[in-house]
Structure 1
Amino acid sequence: MGSLNPTDSPYWQINVPVSLRTADCPAFLLDLSAKDKGIISTPDSQYHVLTWPEVQLIISRNRIDLFQRVPSELRRYLAYNWELRQKYGSVMEFVLQERLGWEVPIAAEGKPFEEKTDIKVLWNDWPYGIDERIVHLVVWTKFELEDDPKTDDLTEEARAKINEYVDEVFGKRAGKENVIWFKNWKSLKSVHAVEHFHVMLFDPDPDFVREITNGDVPLSRKV
């Protein structure tokens, strides 16, 4: 059958069975960033799955650029997003139409975190390479979470409001020690123009996850 990862294979053939390899690079793997190309070039067997303490450390140090997907999962993610762009024009349009069901222009009904209709909690469709006991959710909001242009990070006021929300909604049900959140820097966002931040829960009650996401299932489990 042959190895999935012969050392002389081009990057787009890594983690791909021999029968499915292509001589030319697929369109969805062209023009990758150096980071993504490096990940795609890595055999899954060499990938280190992050533990909960490692996830906590990355977020506490605001080094969210260190989060990566398992190489074969990154390949699936890039392929799926490429198809979405062909069909919807952009990933943002797909998220708005199919995942959130929100109309443009997006208008909040109240101040930040006041109205439940301004918030939707869903699974992260393509989670990072982390301990499978960690549940990765995304909190989408119709209101803006203000960034400080000098730091490319949240303002202290916005951070305080998110902390209060996360403690109330997730901390009380999952335990504060099992909850951590982060918001991508603008330069790292995969979906622009729709405000959101990420919440990770360590080994939460599945019933709570179903409740808070209204029974959502991540796309990575469907395709």
Structure 2
Amino acid sequence: MGSLAEASTLPYWQVNVPPEEREDECPPYLLSAQGKDAEILGTPDSEYQRMSWPELQGHIAKNRLDIFQRTPIELRRYFAFNYKIKMKYGSVMNFVLGEKLHWKHPIVADGKPFEKDSDLSVKRNDWPYGIDERISHLVVWTKFPLEEDPKMGRDLTDRQRKQIDDYVEKTFRVHCGNDNVIWFRNWASLKSVHAVEHFHVMLFNADQEFLDKITGGDVPISEMV
């Protein structure tokens, strides 16, 4: 649906769209795309290089979470889906709470952090990044807040990091191996859902049976729409 040379002559919302389907005006769901997002949308999908597992590990180790991005076509679909969700539910948070997690608002934890399973929910990332397709992207949603250190620019405290790492160890590493598991928590500016606390877990070459068990058989929305 277009070469790099052709894409350079098109507005970002027309790239990766068949000529007969291109719109003269930017569709409403893409009006909010700016900067990095507009640049990605304006890139031919065929030019996109998926991130490898070693590359992903390196970026997380350096806290370069801003490098993560979706493929151009998936980013377009992500914008379109979120636009519809906001129109129907009022916000992405309402959708996540009501349709994904089935938690009531306001969110109240049943115990201390990581004390009760009912305070956590592991789901597939509905719109994963443009990474090696052998990598499974999970989101661990929590009813409790994650402790931040204001002196570290709202990064997690050492105590909170250890709690998360201990949880990741017993929940994921013992099943998938140390070298096949990595976790991170997005910066506030990079979060797509702010009101429900969560962190991310990436698994390399994970067994489908384990994924189904840990997520309750959850399927990414991107695979269903």
TM-score bracket for the superposition, by shorter chain length? over 0.9
- How many positions carry a matched residue from both structures? 222
Residue by residue, what CA displacement relative to the aligned partner does 1:49-106 show, whole Å, maximum 9, x if unpaired? Answer: 0000000001000011100000010000001001111111111110001000000110
1:218 aligns with 2:220: yes
Secondary structure of 2:108 counterpart? coil
Structure 1 residues 87-140: Cα deviation after superposition (integer angstroms, max 9, x where no partner): 111111100010000001101111111101100000000000000000000000
Alpha-carbon distance, 1:220 to partner: 0.2
| Partner residue in 2 for 1:56 | 57
Whether 1:195 and 2:197 are equivalent positions in the alignment is yes
SS at match of 2:144: coil
Please name the residue that 2:33 is paired with.
32
3-state SS of 2:123 partner: strand
Match of 2:181 in 1: 179
Aligned 8 A contact 1:4 1:14 in 2: no
- Displacement after TM superposition at 1:147 (Å): 1.4
Q: Is the partner of 2:95 in helix, strand or coil? A: helix
Aligned to 2:123: 122
How far has the Cα of 1:10 moved from its partner?
1.2
Percent identical residues: 57
Partner of 2:169: 167
Q: Residue deviations 1:127-178, cap 9 Å, x none? A: 0000000000000000111112232211111101000000110000000110
Matched, 1:206 2:192: no
Contact 2:2–2:16 (CA<8 Å) still a contact in 1? no
Quote the Cα distance in structure 1 between the aligned partners of 2:170 and 2:129: 25
TM-score normalized with structure 1 length:
0.97
Q: Which runs of 5+ in 1 are unaligned?
A: none
Partners of 1:142 and 1:194 within 8 A in 2: yes
Deviations 1:176-219 (A, max 9, x none): 11000000011111001100000000001110000000000000
Dislocated runs of 4+, deviation >6 Å: none
CA distance in 2, matches of 1:112, 1:79: 35
- What is the root-mean-square deviation in Å for CA atoms of aligned residues? 1.1
Q: Which amino acid aligns with 1:189?
A: K
Partner amino acid for 1:104? H
Q: TM-score, normalised by structure 2?
A: 0.96
DSSP-derived class of the 2:93 partner: helix
